[in-house]
């Protein structure tokens, strides 16, 4: 048995619920690896886990993303070996630690050209941008020149999506909560930006698209943007809801989708897309190509030592962060 520092909560609540415990880490079982983290990614889903919007059995470990060196592999694991550099997005939560035993299925070898910090920052957010832009498609697919609306475009997932959308030839309209964030989204490939803290994003979207609306809305903000987002869509457009940063979307009647132009609605989660080793690797390879090829740069704007995890959560929730955030070890 080896010991590891690990961030855990004993009950759902505010950032003060997170404490650093010392835990015992054993040998990996079948289908598992033991990984020593070099860096850990912070994601908004960690906030949902902490607050209890997404419930966890207690005590609960937090964190869904990390990068490090594989120390040991359990029976049946063939795609990794001790000494491999690796990175992952994975459930159950538990990446906020130095060392852990975890399922190997979604852990991928990290290309030499990608450093640990970048690997830790990009897996959950990058694979999410991948499935949103390439696997969550409107009728007829997405074509060059198509308009899409992406909320919180200056955030972790957002800045990756801006760059990837540009590489795909899409006209991404990005929203963000300040002029500085809008500028950042524009610099990363958003064709148009809207400061939704002071502008009516529906009116601006109609204006930008000549009244037609967008083919897809990617909405991770939830409660605050939901109603107007639906009205931003063109007929047969797709509402891709994927988060609740402002709170969950209230229940709605499917009948409202008809008069709005027979629009489609989907609520996706990354973990359905990376349910198999094959799918994970295929998506990760696409992401690795985009990053090593320079189409997508992973911007790490915040770094906090693991001991400052409470402050990291406070800043993320207070909308003070841009791009990706990592916890350093």
* Residue ranges binding ligand NDP (CB under 6 A): 43-45, 124-125, 128, 152, 154-158, 176-177, 181, 220-221, 224, 242-243, 245-246, 268-270, 316-317, 319, 321
CA 25 vs CA 7, 59, 96, 104: distances in Å:
14, 16, 14, 16
- Residue nearer to ligand NDP on the CB measure, 156 or 213: 156
Distance CA 21, CA 141 (A): 47
- Residue nearer to ligand NDP on the CB measure, 38 or 313: 313
Q: What is the smallest separation between the CB atom of 122 and ligand NDP, expressed in angstroms?
A: 11
Q: What is the smallest separation between the CB atom of 155 and ligand NDP, expressed in angstroms?
A: 2
Q: What is the smallest separation between the CB atom of 48 and ligand NDP, expressed in angstroms?
A: 6
Q: What is the smallest separation between the CB atom of 179 and ligand NDP, expressed in angstroms?
A: 11
- Residue nearer to ligand NDP on the CB measure, 7 or 77: 7
- Residue nearer to ligand NDP on the CB measure, 12 or 212: 12
Q: What is the smallest separation between the CB atom of 127 and ligand NDP, expressed in angstroms?
A: 8
- Residue nearer to ligand NDP on the CB measure, 13 or 29: 13
- Residue nearer to ligand NDP on the CB measure, 116 or 131: 131
- Residue nearer to ligand NDP on the CB measure, 84 or 219: 219
Q: What is the smallest separation between the CB atom of 2 and ligand NDP, expressed in angstroms?
A: 30
The pair of three-digit structure tokens given for residue 201, joined into one six-digit string:
């994003």
Q: What is the smallest separation between the CB atom of 158 and ligand NDP, expressed in angstroms?
A: 5
- Residue nearer to ligand NDP on the CB measure, 44 or 288: 44
State the residue number with the nearest CB to ligand NDP.
Answer: 155
Q: What is the smallest separation between the CB atom of 241 and ligand NDP, expressed in angstroms?
A: 8
Distance CA 59, CA 8 (A): 7
């Amino acid at each position: 048995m080896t010991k590891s520092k690990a961030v855990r909560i004993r009950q759902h609540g505010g950032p003060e619920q997170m404490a650093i415990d010392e835990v015992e880490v054993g040998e990996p079982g079948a289908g598992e690896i033991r990984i020593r983290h070099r860096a850990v990614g912070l994601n908004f889903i960690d906030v949902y886990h902490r607050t209890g919007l997404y419930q966890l059995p207690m005590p609960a470990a937090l964190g869904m993303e990390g990068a490090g060196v594989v120390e040991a592999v359990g029976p049946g694991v063939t795609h990794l070996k001790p000494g491999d550099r690796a990175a992952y997005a994975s459930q159950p939560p538990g990446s906020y630690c130095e060392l852990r035993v975890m399922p190997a299925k979604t852990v991928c070898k990290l290309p030499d050209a990608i450093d640990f910090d970048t690997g830790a920052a990009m897996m959950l957010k990058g694979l999410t941008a991948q499935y949103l832009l390439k696997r969550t498609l409107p009728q007829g697919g997405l074509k060059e020149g198509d308009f899409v609306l992406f909320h919180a475009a200056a955030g972790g997932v957002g800045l990756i999506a801006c760059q990837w959308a540009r590489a795909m030839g899409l006209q991404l309209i990005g929203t963000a909560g300040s002029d500085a964030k809008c500028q950042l989204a524009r610099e990363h490939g958003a064709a148009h930006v809207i400061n939704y803290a002071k502008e009516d994003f529906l009116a601006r979207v109609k204006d930008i698209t000549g009244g037609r609306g967008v083919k897809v809305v990617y909405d991770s903000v939830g409660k605050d943007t939901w109603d107007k987002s639906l009205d931003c869509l063109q007929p047969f457009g797709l509402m891709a809801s994927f988060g609740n940063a402002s709170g969950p979307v209230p229940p709605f009647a499917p009948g409202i989708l008809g008069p709005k132009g027979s629009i489609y609605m989907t609520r996706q989660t990354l973990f359905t897309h990376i349910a198999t080793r094959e799918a994970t690797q295929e998506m990760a390879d696409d992401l690795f190509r985009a990053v090593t090829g320079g189409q997508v740069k992973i911007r790490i704007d915040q770094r906090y030592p693991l001991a400052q995890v409470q402050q990291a959560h406070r800043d993320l929730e207070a909308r003070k962060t841009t791009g990706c955030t990592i916890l350093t070890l």
